[in-house]
Structures are given as structure tokens and as C-alpha cells.
Structure 1
């Protein structure tokens, strides 16, 4: 292992980073932190996300988004063009403040414009998993009962076929000219300014039951998450300036426009926040990938001079492999981040070897917390590369034991958090909300970990029975429910195994007399998103091992996997 990663203490780097944080969050700063009602807040934060969005008009003719239309032709739009398109869409939505508007599309420019229009019109953006099957998407729509669905042609067809009867606008097709003229001519009522506690967006997540739930995020939640990301960027800039013996202002004046490659799905909190809104609000260029392709990603990094690339380890390995094999240039990259799962140490070393000029970072967060809970970039990350990040200034983090007792430094228990980023609750799920959110605002993450003396968070295990494969959350309970519908099946279990490229891969063991491995995989893939199907299935006649409570013992199953699967 390199000297860079051998030293896991680096107290001088932690102290230096703390000094930069103090300057960035000090009095008079845009990121000045205060306290109200027991919560840490950004003093200068507006109450309404649309007010932040409007501030980006100042970037005018600067390139805002690079995308490819349905025919595969490249298109570039400036900030002026994106705002013009958004303003044209607002009256067509025909909604009032507080109305829920679902967005069901692949990553594309229309998705960005749709979200901006919903915020301008005062709606609540419901972010639907575009990778889900028609019935899965229908279940989400029926749960929130949106006033209108903004979709692409593929999702429009899928939800109609699944039985959705509500209003749908296919934004990938031209609007009827008469309808456009009539709507535009109508004087839309002023949506006014939202209250900080008004709902802003609903993002879907699951839990140990595997049933999707809509996490309701307020304007304050989303804005705090966004500003925390922006603050992190300013801290990185401050650290870089200190290393170079200059000021952040002087360094910013010399830097070209930031260009980021958007690879996370926009319905994920990471895609919405760090992938789209954060660079948008900073005047950056967002280059959209609709689906991952290492060759295309390498081409875009070089052609668009991508400076910020945040991805899951799988994607980083792909890009690094390309660079090793054919000399793909990564010289433009200045910030490389990883989300979805921890960065393997060997991957960190490989990134540093090929991109020594880039700041490397990682983070830990969740949908219910509007993004990051802990983050570390550059010197902070290198000080503890095995950690999930350092707890952010806006979030309180504590560790609780089995009986709810607060544990001390270095002790392992459930990670529990509180802050202005924490969701209001799950849409129409009061019991499930009460199970994770206390009356005084503490959110039980379901993750097991510890916090060290410098505030670094280490994830030890997950209480949730969940697999993170290629950055996608796959809930075993959801897969097992689908497996349970196979005719003749008597027992089943889905679980994760380590995988160098994917982080984890999902496998399953079933007792079913009339189906083989390929049939089981096809059964799941036809009823859930394809990535939720197990990569391997062992079909057996032997009863599955169970623990003292009668539950399937997945620890024992993992040990038996080589024997059951023949791997």
C-alpha cells in the first residue's frame, strides 16, 4: 500500500481542514451557520428552492446542459435557453401550490426542465424510479395521486399499459400549437413564495419490508442538503488554495467553467442534488448520460473537459481500466467522488496513481436526509480513507445501543441523525414514519457504525437487509416477495456477496421443483427492474438453515453458497 494511504491519522490535515471550515461557515459568509428551534441552519438560506433556482439566471448564455435527443443527436442549451423552456412549460402544467407532479423519465434535458418548472409553479416534485416496471411505477403514482405526470414516451406507454388513467404530458413530443398558445396566453396565478417547511419533493425509498415509501422533503430539507454540498465544494477550494499559497477568490478566477458528468439517476437524491442542482446553481455545465457506457463516458470526459466525476466504484473501475488499456485522458478531472458504497482502498490507490492532480472524496447519506450525512474530500478523505466521511457541520450524529442508550466515541451501534436536512416523514405512512423518526427529530438510519474522536463515521454493517450493487439499492425483502409468487416455490432467500467490480452482487437460493436458475432470474426481471434480478440462483431441495427465531440464517447461507452454487 502506498505511503499516502498507510498513514490513517494525519492530524495536521484534519486541523487544517477544520480551520478552512471555520472560515467558510463564519459570520457574514453565504454559509454562515446559526441555530433556530434546536436545529443548525444556514442563516442566509432562502425559504423557497425556486428562489435559489432563479439566481442561476445570471449565467445567461453560458452552457448549461449537454444532452442527446431521442434520435441521438447532440444538443446544447445555455442557461437562457433552459429558463426559456422552463417558463414555457409552467402554464401548461396547470397546477396550484402544493399539487403533486410526478416526473417519470430517463436522465435527459426534459427531466431537468420538468423539475425546474414544477418548482416555479409551486408544485411538489414526485421523483419516480424510471427504471421500474410499469406496475412498479403505477404503484408509486397511485400512492401519491399526482395532478399530472411528466414523462417520456417509453414511460408514458408503460404506465398507460399498466392501467394509469390520470393526466400525462409526454415532454419528448412537441405540444399541440393551439394548446401551447392557449396555455401561454392564460395568466397563471402567482405561486407566491413557499414556506421553508412546505413540501418540496417526494423521493421513493424502501426498507426492511421492501415496500416503496415516499420520503417527503421540505424546501428547507432540500436547500440545506444542497448548500451542504456547495459548502463542501468551498471547503475543498479553500484547502486547494492553502496548499498553493493563494486565496480561494484568486483560484476561482483562474478556473474554467466546472463541467460534471451526470451518471446517477435523477430520481436518486444524489442525482438530483450533487448531480444536477448543485452544479446548476454554481453555473456549471451538466453533461447527461442516460445509461452507463464506459466508452462513451471516456469520450465525454475528454471532449467536454469534465472536471467533476462522481460515480459508484463499478464505474470508476471501468474508466480506470479504459485509461490503463488505451490511454484515455483523465487530465481534466479535478474532483472524483464516490457514492452508493464505500471506496475500496485499492481503488483509491488506482485513482490517485492515474489522477494525482484530482481531489478524491467519498460520502455517506440517505434519501431521508436529503443527501449527505458525512463527507470527506481531499486531505480530509486521505486522513481516513477507510471511513465513510466526516460528519457534516449541519448534521448531529450519535450512536445508539440496542436499548436506545447513547454510546460513546468509538463504540458501535445504530447511527442516528438529526438536522434541518431530515425528512418530514413518509407519504401516507404514519406508522413507518414513527418507526424511524422520533418526536424530537432524530432519524434512525438502520446502519450500524461508529464515530471516532475526529468526527469520522465508519459503517460496520446494515440493519436493513439491503444489497448495494453497482450503486443501486436492492432490498432483499422486495425480491423475496416476487420469488414467493413462483408456482410451487416453498422457500427462498436473497442476499449479497462481495464483488470487486459491483461492490456486492445479489444471489438467491430457492426450493422450487418446476423451475431452473434461468427461469428464476427471468421471473424476477419481468416483475421488477432488471437490476434487481439475482445474478445467480441456486435451486435446491434441502431446507434452508434457520436461526433460533425461525428466520432464514443468511450468514449460514453465505457459507453454504459455494457448495449450493458450485462456484
Structure 2
């Protein structure tokens, strides 16, 4: 999206909510709040609208309005007993209590440290010890795991009712006013997945997280204005006639997509959030119909599951208006299936990372469809450049490491000065670790991970490129390519797939005809089950490598 775009110029003009200025050498939103709590407080205006549809620990459905969530939040704040800058670790499965815990922590001036609730006791305690929180907010199951790991510090189980007298006593005590945060103050700590090394906590400031959230909101506003222009209808008319939107939350809340796109953005917009504790395709299609879900963002595996149900005639997906996935380009055959089953839905994709507070590139609707192989267009407040391994900047269209700069970029890794230094270039650009290129229109194309490249017989093979081509093959459901040791070639490219009506020879031929012959996998194994994934929804290639001897041995 060029800055000469008339819609962009209109919605970012001086005096508008999304006015853009330059400060400290970075483009920023002139009217951004300094403190995330101010944005959260603005959601009180949604009043008695339903905000969360969830299930209690007893399995009973519960519907909580915005008013009820804020009342719960306000009751919890005095119980925290923290000061500005104190870390508060949150460790729960997706549930309303998690959201209340986050809102209360930010209200009290704390820094929310979001633990991977799927970790082992040792992993959970290691994260806690890393951030030294003033207290831990947990659910019963996670509280037991944390205690089993040896943590003896202060912890509150939010899934158990508090003592009424304790609530009254705390409510009667004066609660210190933390004042407003400074934009550069830490706001949240999100832990990286750790599949390529030890877990690190990315520190997002109030400015970085708010910038990331507002950049995504700006994309939505531009889509709305373009829709209004196309139909000759005032934006205000469209807004006045829109029913309450509803989103199905399937991403973990401790992940940046769960926190931003599936919780905070809906909170600000007055959108209903329907929480799924664990992915189940049958339950997903039931909820989509019963709750009239309009927005659904998920990893490709979940989208395939949902489409399979729909093709069997067991799903009514007519309420869906927005379907999205992220990370890299959707497989073309998956995209075509979605469009055939849900022609009424606008498609979208995005590219980003935890360290950049979410997306740095997005594409929605026609902007996405006309360049389906991309992972989105660079957002207006992000600067993206491509660099060679020696740091030389690459010309437009050439591949190299994607590097990012902007107000949405993290402050650094908590208590990891050496790893923070390694994450940035000497002139302050964030190294994403992704290989890709940017075309003349600002579309980003992901080629691979810097560390996910196979060198076979002296030739560099990018696994993501091979996976993209395999993903276009009819009958291909899931695929992953990776290297295994080979005495003659150094590494051998192999693939594991979940596919129908094809065989190893056909896959090799398909890839070899579309890429250089040496990029075709030497061996292909077929998995009877979905490929293993980490908590971010990405294929876990460490597990796949360990499974390879068995998978290939039973062919």
C-alpha cells in the first residue's frame, strides 16, 4: 500500500485517529496512547454486549459481558498488591480468567509475563525464575505443575473463588495509583518457542505493543473505506448497520497472535470472543454456526479440518466473513478450497513475529488474492530491508534475510544482553531469521528460515520453497521438508507428507519439474497422522527428524 493511496492519505491525515508522524527516527501514530491500559479502558463503552463465551472449570457455559469482565478486573486489581514495573506471570489455558488476569496486571502497572501453559513443571519454573515475578496468576492445573516444579513463591489460583472477607478487606484498602506508563516502559514479556535454542522472553513496551495493535486496526479501517468506496456507501452507514462481530479463539493467548488479534483487538472493537480450549473440528463447526462466528484465523491444519467437515455436508460456514492464516503464504490448493466452500468470506494473510509485536506485513481481500503467493504487504509503520549474510543490502526482488525496523519492535530479550545484541544489527534493525524478498509493490515473499536451509552437494536448498511447491500438488494436505546427514552429499533433502492419491515418485517429479532437479526430495515418507506442531502451530521439525527413521522405514 503506497503512501500515495488516497484512502491511506485520508485515514492518516492530520487530526485523524491514525495520524502518522516521525519521532526518534521512526514513523509513529501521533495519537497513540502512552499506556495500554488507556486503550483497554476505552472498551468499557461496549457495556452489556457479550464479550466472552467460555466454559467454567465445571464445564458449564458462561457468557460474560464487557461490563462483567471489567467488574471482575477491577475486583482483582487490589488482590495483586503490585507496583509499577513488577512482573506478573500468567499461566493458564485459554479462558476468561486469563484475559482478566492480563487486564488487571496492566491496570495495576505490572508487566505481564505470558508463560507457555503447555510447558513441563521444569520449563514453567525456568520461565518464572527468568522474570522473577512478584506473583504468578494460574489455573488449578498449572498451579499444581508450578508447585511440582519447585516454585515456592506467591501464586493466586484464579479458577478458585477468593474468600469473601479477603475481597472486602482488599477493596477497603487504598490501591496505589501507578500513574501512566511511559511509552518505552515494558508492558509484556512473551516467550519465544525455543525450538532452535533456549527460551527467551521478548520484552514488548507499551509503545511497541500499541503500535502493533494500531497498525492492524489501520489495515481494517482501510479495508472498510475501500469497501465503502466500491459500493458508494458512506463508511458511517456501513458501521451503523454492522451486527456485532464474533471471532473463534483457537490461538494460545500466550502467543502474540492470541494476545493481539484474538483478544485485545476484539476487546477494543466490541467483538464477541468464543474460546476453544482445545482444537476439535466438530466442535469448531458447531460453534461457528451456533455463535454466528464472522472472523476465523487459524493455522492451515485447522483450516483443512474445517473444510473437510464442510465438504461432508456437516458444517454451515455461511456466517464467516473473514478467514485468515499467517506465517507465510497459504498453500494454493488450500486457498482455492476455502474460496469454493466459503465464497462469501474475505481472505487474508500476514507475516510477523513475537519480537515485532505481531504482524509487519498483511494483505486482505483483493489485495491478497491478486498476489496469493505472498505473505502480505509491508505495513505502513514498518521498515523492511533484505540483507545478505555479510550485511550487504540486496536489491529489490533478491532474497536475503528479512530485517525490520519500527516502533513496534521489541525492546530486547529479558535479562539476555548478549542475545539481544545478536538479534539486532549494528544500526538497529531486527534480524528476523527469515529468508525472503520484497517486490516493487511491497509484497513480502518468504523463502525459508536462515537456519532451515539444506546444503546438499554444495547446493543451497530452501525448505520452504520446496514445501510451497509440494503444497500446490493435488491431494497434498500437509508437507514438510528438511535435511538429514549424508556421507556423500553432507545433507540429504527429505520430506514427510500427509497426502491422498499420490506416491513418492509423483511428488519427486512434481517438484523436479517446477524447481531445479536437485531441489526434489531424495526420499518422501507418508505420515498417517497430522504432522507434529509446536505451540505456535508451526511444524516441529526436531520431532520430525526424530520420527524419520520410523516413518521412512515402514514405507
> Normalized against structure 1, the TM-score is what?
0.82
Task: Find the partner of 1:279 among 244, 261, 266.
Answer: 266
Aligned-pair CA distance for 1:539: 8.2
Distance 2:95 2:432 in 1: 31
Aligned-pair CA distance for 1:23: 2.3
Partner of 1:210: 197
Per-residue Cα deviation, 1:52-104 (whole angstroms, up to 9, x for no partner) = 00001111111111111111111001111000000000000000000000000
The answer to whether structure 1 residue 394 and structure 2 residue 381 are counterparts is: yes
SS at match of 1:197: coil
Distance 1:208 1:405 in 2: 28
Partner of 2:553: 565
Structure 2 counterparts to residues 133-212 of structure 1, below 5 A: 133-206=120-193, 209-212=196-199
2:207 touches 2:407 (CA, 8 Å); kept in 1? yes
Structure 2 counterparts to residues 434-449 of structure 1, below 5 A: 434-449=421-436
Distance 1:70 1:207 in 2: 30
Distance 1:17 1:337 in 2: 27
1:17 touches 1:380 (CA, 8 Å); kept in 2? no
The answer to whether structure 1 residue 429 and structure 2 residue 438 are counterparts is: no
1:60 touches 1:78 (CA, 8 Å); kept in 2? yes
The answer to whether structure 1 residue 38 and structure 2 residue 25 are counterparts is: yes
Q: Which moved more, 1:323-332 or 1:19-28?
A: 19-28
Distance 1:15 1:154 in 2: 49
Aligned-pair CA distance for 1:359: 0.8
Task: Find the partner of 2:292 among 300, 305, 321.
Answer: 305
Partner of 2:44: 57
Per-residue Cα deviation, 1:391-411 (whole angstroms, up to 9, x for no partner) = 000100000112111111101
1:417 touches 1:442 (CA, 8 Å); kept in 2? yes
1:312 touches 1:341 (CA, 8 Å); kept in 2? no
The answer to whether structure 1 residue 355 and structure 2 residue 342 are counterparts is: yes
Partner of 2:212: 225
1:137 touches 1:159 (CA, 8 Å); kept in 2? yes
SS at match of 2:203: strand
SS at match of 1:459: strand
Aligned-pair CA distance for 1:500: 5.5
Per-residue Cα deviation, 1:426-463 (whole angstroms, up to 9, x for no partner) = 00111100001235431010100000000000001101
Q: Which moved more, 1:17-26 or 1:418-427?
A: 17-26
The answer to whether structure 1 residue 534 and structure 2 residue 534 are counterparts is: no
Aligned-pair CA distance for 1:135: 1.0
Partner of 1:404: 391
Structure 2 counterparts to residues 486-505 of structure 1, below 5 A: 497=495, 499=497
Q: Which moved more, 1:145-154 or 1:207-216?
A: 207-216
Distance 2:495 2:79 in 1: 48
SS at match of 1:326: coil
5+ residue gaps in structure 2? 454-462, 468-479, 485-490, 500-531
The answer to whether structure 1 residue 373 and structure 2 residue 382 are counterparts is: no
Per-residue Cα deviation, 1:148-196 (whole angstroms, up to 9, x for no partner) = 0000000000010111111110000011222222111111110110000
2:329 touches 2:372 (CA, 8 Å); kept in 1? no
Aligned-pair CA distance for 1:134: 1.2
Per-residue Cα deviation, 1:23-54 (whole angstroms, up to 9, x for no partner) = 22222221111110100101110100000000
1:261 touches 1:289 (CA, 8 Å); kept in 2? yes
Partner of 1:456: 443
Q: Which moved more, 1:84-93 or 1:207-216?
A: 207-216
Distance 2:293 2:405 in 1: 35
Change in Cα spacing, 1:499 to 1:127, as seen in structure 2 (3 Å) is farther
The answer to whether structure 1 residue 20 and structure 2 residue 7 are counterparts is: yes
Distance 2:171 2:426 in 1: 45
Aligned-pair CA distance for 1:207: 5.8
Count of matched residue pairs: 489
Q: Which moved more, 1:89-98 or 1:336-345?
A: 336-345
SS at match of 1:166: coil
1:138 touches 1:162 (CA, 8 Å); kept in 2? yes
Distance 1:267 1:52 in 2: 19
SS at match of 1:75: strand
Distance 1:307 1:376 in 2: 18
Task: Find the partner of 1:345 among 300, 311, 332.
Answer: 332
Structure 2 counterparts to residues 514-553 of structure 1, below 5 A: 534=543, 537=546
Partner of 1:489: none
2:190 touches 2:256 (CA, 8 Å); kept in 1? yes
SS at match of 2:165: helix
Partner of 2:516: none
Task: Find the partner of 2:351 among 364, 388, 400.
Answer: 364
Distance 1:239 1:370 in 2: 26
> Normalized against structure 2, the TM-score is what?
0.83
5+ residue gaps in structure 1? 1-13, 481-492, 502-523, 541-560
The answer to whether structure 1 residue 82 and structure 2 residue 69 are counterparts is: yes
Aligned-pair CA distance for 1:313: 0.6
Distance 2:177 2:363 in 1: 41
1:538 touches 1:565 (CA, 8 Å); kept in 2? no
RMSD value, Cα: 2.8
Distance 1:84 1:154 in 2: 25
Per-residue Cα deviation, 1:290-312 (whole angstroms, up to 9, x for no partner) = 11111111111111111110111
SS at match of 1:534: helix
Distance 2:300 2:92 in 1: 25
Partner of 2:529: none
Per-residue Cα deviation, 1:345-402 (whole angstroms, up to 9, x for no partner) = 1111111111111110000000000000110000110121000100000100000112
Per-residue Cα deviation, 1:535-567 (whole angstroms, up to 9, x for no partner) = 674587xxxxxxxxxxxxxxxxxxxx97x5343
Partner of 1:128: 115
